Amino acid sequence: MVSVGTVVWLSSELMFFAGLFAMYFTLRSTSGLMWAEETAKLNFPFALVNTIVLVASSFTCQMGVFAAERLQPRRTGGVFSFTRWGMNGWFILTFLMGAFFVAGQTTEYSMLVSEHVTLSTNAYGSAFYITTGFHGLHVIGGLIAFLLIMGRSFAAKKFGHFEATSAIVTSYYWHFVDVVWIGLFLVIYVLK
């Protein structure tokens, strides 16, 4: 039931982001010259590194899911024995990568503000900050979910299917957030 509920909820989130993409494309279609000037201020290499870190976090998240499905919350081998890492180890790594992404996005915001691109500067600033900002809030929500899942695994006397299911549905959300970012990255940074 939890999996079905999560998929239904993510469907509503998909519609929310579809609305943000529609807003972005509508504003872009009416302000072509300004869009070209403002996108020139974006730091593509910086955003690419940030994107690679977020996409890589999807892989570490999935490794945590595989460990949760084995009902293995903790590492059973050495630190460098990655095949024996438990769910918590992979989710900690995922959390750190997600936090790196949020810090990178915050840094990018400060760089753009220094270039006089703010939420209220023009249509581009509004579209950029609203789309990336809402995505950033979703990433922060995912980070909180990882903390809750890891806390629950430490609090459980026995790691069972309930805890594993919670980890799996959290991964659905994280993968969704990653896919949305790939779309945003392509639209904002690549599509000229």
Closest to 44 measured CA to CA, from 111, 103, 120, 99: 111
Side-chain-side CA neighbours of 183 within 13 Å: the count stands at: 16
Closest to 159 measured CA to CA, from 89, 79, 88: 88
Please give the pLDDT value at position 135.
Answer: 96
User: Pick the residue with more confidence: 74 or 146?
Assistant: 146
Please give the pLDDT value at position 78.
Answer: 72
pLDDT tens per residue across span 42-53: 999 999 999 999
pLDDT tens per residue across span 18-50: 999 999 999 999 988 898 899 999 999 999 999
What class has domain 2-190?
A: mainly alpha
pTM over 0.85: yes
Residues 171 and 64 sit within 8 Å (Cβ to Cβ): yes
pLDDT at 74 over 80: no
DSSP letters for the chain: -HHHHHHHHHHHHHHHHHHHHHHHHHHHHH-HHHHHHHHTTS-HHHHHHHHHHHHHHHHHHHHHHHHHHTT--S--S-TT-GGG--HHHHHHHHHHHHHHHHHHHHHHHHHHHHTT--TTT-HHHHHHHHHHHHHHHHHHHHHHHHHHHHHHHHH-SS--HHHHHHHHHHHHHHHHHHHHHHHHHIIIII--
pLDDT tens per residue across span 79-119: 777 777 889 999 999 999 999 999 999 999 999 999 999 99
Triad 20, 116, 184: Cα angle to 5°: 25
**Residue-averaged pLDDT of the chain:** 91
Closest to 139 measured CA to CA, from 61, 46, 72: 61
